[in-house]
Amino acid sequence: MIKPILFALSLVALTTATTVTAQNNRQRTRATANNTYYQRQNHLLDSVISRYIELDAQESRSSYMSGDNPADDLYEGAWGTSGVNANRVEVSEVPDSVVISCKGYVAPVIGSTTSHFGPRGSRNHYGIDIALHTGDPVGAAFDGKVRITRYDRGGYGYYVVIRHPNGLETVYGHLSEIKVFQGQSVVAGQTIGLGGSTGRSTGPHLHFEARFLGNPINPEKLFDFQENKAIADNYFLVKRNSFDWAYGGRSYRSSSNHRHSSSRGARYHKVRKGETLSGIASRYGVSVKELCRLNRLSRRSVLRPGQRLRCS
């Protein structure tokens, strides 16, 4: 686990950052009156961030140099090779806020973005698509260690998953050829495969994902794909924002389907007034027992309107 102090610090930083942003937006017209307030807040934020970066650098280095897998503390030593979210971590289990260092990022390919993260047809698109020509080299986004090399006929095609010391994992899909092996250490920018159009794909492109504890974050929240650099040295993961797709954001379809293409994902239900466990269970074709198990409820649990239940 990440040391509590890092969370505490990141939480302070995030709270402060949110406050500053909200204040900026709300009170732009009254800015002069509040100048000293902003200065104080910004100063506090700066000192917290720089302190954090120091700790983060030590932490990353030590976990990476230990000779084990990167970010092992975070993943509790789990190194499954069965899929992108091999540990099956739910968004609810991810810490509320984490600071992720984006230093050392190298764009996997240089090309135009042809599809963004978000809803696509009846499911979510958990990465972004970048145009390329078949055979173009695709590079690792950060230093790291290859967790998966695999072929997924109906989805990613030939794909690679790399775990990085900053806790992120990156996924590279539709490759025509894989140039690394599972367990191999790679450096940022190193060719890990060649671009292609394997799997569920209509033309050559790279499908690129960024995941934290198995759950996807819109890569465009972290990286600028026009400038081909990280947006900032640190990304502040805030669960509600970073995993907005899991919270039934307006335009997102609720699903914890972690596969690029599959209809086997979890389904969620937002409880409405008067609904019962048995009513919801029958609607989704599951037993009350299963519904309780999925949501860690007892049969006598009182449902709140607006509560989200996992139904499959």
Site for Zn ion, rule CB under 5 A = 127, 129, 207
How near is the Cβ of 200 to Zn ion at its closest, in Å?
A: 9
Nearer to Zn ion, 130 or 286 (CB): 130
Nearer to Zn ion, 70 or 196 (CB): 196
Cβ within 8 Å of residue 8, ≥6 positions away: none
How near is the Cβ of 221 to Zn ion at its closest, in Å?
A: 16
Rounded distance, CA 125 to CA 195, Å? Answer: 19
How near is the Cβ of 125 to Zn ion at its closest, in Å?
A: 6
How near is the Cβ of 251 to Zn ion at its closest, in Å?
A: 17
How near is the Cβ of 210 to Zn ion at its closest, in Å?
A: 13
DSSP state letters, 44-101: HHHHHHHHHHHHHHHHHHHHHHTSS-TTHHHHTT----SSTTTT---GGGS-SEEEEE
Nearer to Zn ion, 127 or 195 (CB): 127
CA nearest neighbour of 218 among 78, 95, 120: 120
The amino acid occupying position 174 is: H
Nearer to Zn ion, 95 or 265 (CB): 265
* Sole residue written with tokens 């669960």: 239
Q: E strands, 96-198, where?
A: 97-101, 113-115, 118-120, 123-125, 128-131, 137-139, 144-152, 157-163, 168-175, 177-178, 185-186, 191-194
Residue nearest to Zn ion according to CB distances in the complex: 207
How near is the Cβ of 258 to Zn ion at its closest, in Å?
A: 14
Nearer to Zn ion, 127 or 193 (CB): 127
Nearer to Zn ion, 103 or 116 (CB): 116
DSSP H helices, the chain, are: 4-26, 35-65, 72-75, 219-222, 239-242, 277-284, 288-295
